[in-house]
């Protein structure tokens, strides 16, 4: 009997096994997860769950009973030790599983601070999984002092929650500005103003020199020579695709596990999807770190395991919630050469162009701008910049 084994019980892994069953796959299906809880949503971890607004059960992607009801062998709290692609086996230490097809849905791993600068002290956290957030949640007490290292979306979301809960928040970003890697200066300025308006102390062009403490962190020395007393530290300095197992198995890597347009890796009967996978996109190879990509790519892989022969067509979109602002991003802003701002007061959006071609939109509390921008980008169409810049113009007319 055919047997699909999926390594990684995050959004991609859970989507893959559900799609297999919903599409009529009748063989064995095994989903292996390192955490002891069923697959759950990760975006609410640093927001609603940390705020106490969402209980754990509401974060589950599907009720735990779903897996048994659909004959999915869910292995929780299990770590894969080795993959042998020649023998087509997965070694769990006390058991070896044979597979007919294997899917890597191994996600990504957060960068951690080096031990040499205090990264191994207690009360130093990353924001990646349930254990991380459960560990830091008791520290979110009004009046406590937190240092956030890194001004990307993870760091800013954590800063927003901490500020809303009454903590004293300092965020340091070593680059010239927050969000420098992922957004235009206009978007950075918008979120800088948002955070400073809520009392977050943002320090750009300032890095962390080292953390100090006896067992647990108590203070931080910054690269500008200042010292901060801190109760805990949150590190949000990027992630690395989870490729260790694939690399050990001899699978080709290229900014993640390299796949073709249908999700196949360099080894027969081995596939990859989600944060860990890179794939062809408009003449280049990219890797997307987003929930929509994890779902859509994993579902295409499931269909292709069943013989669909279907290419994955990425439609990049992302979101971030900070204070009372919902940021929605459509497209990829790589190699933009200008940004057009559409300022409607409460609704603001930033439109990225290369020449006359629309590449991406950052829409802050502007769902209409986001929706129209997304549809234009997916259709390969653009919009006249002068029309975008006029907040009184009718964007919807662009879709006709």
- The residues with which 287 forms a beta bridge, in sequence order, are none
Q: How many CA atoms lie within 13 A of 209 on its CB side?
A: 11
Which band of pLDDT confidence, cut at 50, 70 and 90, is reported for residue 398? Answer: confident
For residue 223, give the CATH number of its domain: 3.50.50.60
Question: Are 392 and 336 in a shared domain?
Answer: yes
Q: Looking at the structure, do residues 178 and 130 belong to the same domain, yes or no?
A: yes
The three-class DSSP label of residue 17 is helix
Task: State residue 365's pLDDT score.
Answer: 98
Q: Domain end: 182, 208, 235, which one?
A: 235
Asked if residue 105 and residue 116 are part of one domain, the reply reads: no
**pTM value?**
0.95
For residue 269, what are its two tokens?
A: 């009967």
The helix/strand/coil state of 68 is helix
Distance between CA 37 and CA 134 in Å, rounded?
13
Residue 183 has what pLDDT?
97
3-state secondary structure 287-344: CCCCHHHHHHHHHHHHHHHCCCCCCCCCCCEEEEEECCEEEEEEECCCCCCEEEEEEC
Same structural domain, 28 and 79: yes
Q: How far is CA 288 from the centre of its chain?
A: 8
Report the C-alpha gap between 192 and 23 in whole angstroms.
46
User: Is residue 72 pLDDT above 80, yes or no?
Assistant: yes
List pLDDT tens digits, range 176-215. 999 999 999 999 999 999 999 999 999 999 999 999 999 9
Residue found by looking up tokens 């990425």 in the block: 314
At 162-172, the pLDDT tens digits run: 999 999 999 99
Q: How far apart are CA 69 and CA 18, in angstroms?
A: 11
Question: What does the angle CA 128 – CA 65 – CA 25 come to, to the nearest 5 degrees?
Answer: 90
Please report whether residue 140 resides in a domain: yes
Query: Of 235, 262, 293, which closes a domain?
Result: 235
d(CA 120, CA 28): 41
Give domain status of residue 311, yes or no: no
393, 369 in Cβ contact below 8 A?
A: no
Q: Is the dihedral of CA 297, 303, 306, 307 positive or negative?
A: negative
Model confidence over 134-166: pLDDT tens digits?
Answer: 999 999 999 999 999 999 999 999 999 999 999
Check if the beta carbon of residue 263 is closer than 8 Å to that of residue 256: no
Q: Report yes or no on 59 lying in a domain.
A: yes
Residue 315 lies in a domain: no
Q: Tens digit of pLDDT for each residue in 230-263?
A: 999 999 999 999 999 999 999 999 999 999 999 9
State the total domains in the chain: 3
Residue whose C-alpha is closest to residue 171's, from 222, 113, 103, 247: 222
Is residue 313 in some structural domain?
no
Helix (H) or strand (E) holding 159: helix 153-164
Q: How far apart are CA 325 and CA 365, in angstroms?
A: 6
Q: Based on the domain organization, do 98 and 244 belong to the same domain?
A: yes
Share of the chain above pLDDT 70, in %: 100
Say if residue 286 is in the same domain as residue 339: no
- Domain region containing 334: 324-399
DSSP structural state of residue 122? B
Spatial distance between the Cα atoms of 397 and 387, rounded to a whole number of angstroms: 11
pLDDT at 1: 80
């Amino acid at each position: 009997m055919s047997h699909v084994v999926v390594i990684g019980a995050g959004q991609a892994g859970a989507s893959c096994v559900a799609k297999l069953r919903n599409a009529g796959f009748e063989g064995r299906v095994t989903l292996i997860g390192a955490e002891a809880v069923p697959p759950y949503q990760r975006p609410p971890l640093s927001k609603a769950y940390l705020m106490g607004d969402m209980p754990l059960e509401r974060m589950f992607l599907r009720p735990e009973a779903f897996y048994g009801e659909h004959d999915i062998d869910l292995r929780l709290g299990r770590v894969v030790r080795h993959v042998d692609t020649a023998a087509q086996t997965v070694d769990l230490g006390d058991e070896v599983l044979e597979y007919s097809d294997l899917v890597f849905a191994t996600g990504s791993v957060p960068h951690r601070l080096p031990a040499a600068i205090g990264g191994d002290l207690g009360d130093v956290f990353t924001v990646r999984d349930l254990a991380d957030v459960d560990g830091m949640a008791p520290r979110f007490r009004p009046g406590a002092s937190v240092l956030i290292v890194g001004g990307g979306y993870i760091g800013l979301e954590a800063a927003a929650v901490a500020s809303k809960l009454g903590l004293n928040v300092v965020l340091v970003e070593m680059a010239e500005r927050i969000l420098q890697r992922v957004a235009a200066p206009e978007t950075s300025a918008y979120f800088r103003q948002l955070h400073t308006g809520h009392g977050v102390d943002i320090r750009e062009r300032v890095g962390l020199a080292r953390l100090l403490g006896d067992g647990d962190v108590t203070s931080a020395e910054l690269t500008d020579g200042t010292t901060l007393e801190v109760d805990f530290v949150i590190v949000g300095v990027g992630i690395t695709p989870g490729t260790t197992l694939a690399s050990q198995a001899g699978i080709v890597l290229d900014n993640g596990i390299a796949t073709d347009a249908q999700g196949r890796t360099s080894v027969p009967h081995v596939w990859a999807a989600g944060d860990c996978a890179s794939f062809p996109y408009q003449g280049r190879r990219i890797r997307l770190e987003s929930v929509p990509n994890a779902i859509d790519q994993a579902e295409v892989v499931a269909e292709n395991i069943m013989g669909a022969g279907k290419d994955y067509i990425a439609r990049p979109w992302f979101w971030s919630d900070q204070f009372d602002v919902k940021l929605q991003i459509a497209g990829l802003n790589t190699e933009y050469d200008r940004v057009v701002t559409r300022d409607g007061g409460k609704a603001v959006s930033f439109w990225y162009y290369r020449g006359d071609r629309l590449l991406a939109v950052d829409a802050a509390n502007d769902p209409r701008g986001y929706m129209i921008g997304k549809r234009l980008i997916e259709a390969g169409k653009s919009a006249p910049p002068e029309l975008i810049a006029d907040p009184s113009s009718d964007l919807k007319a662009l879709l006709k």
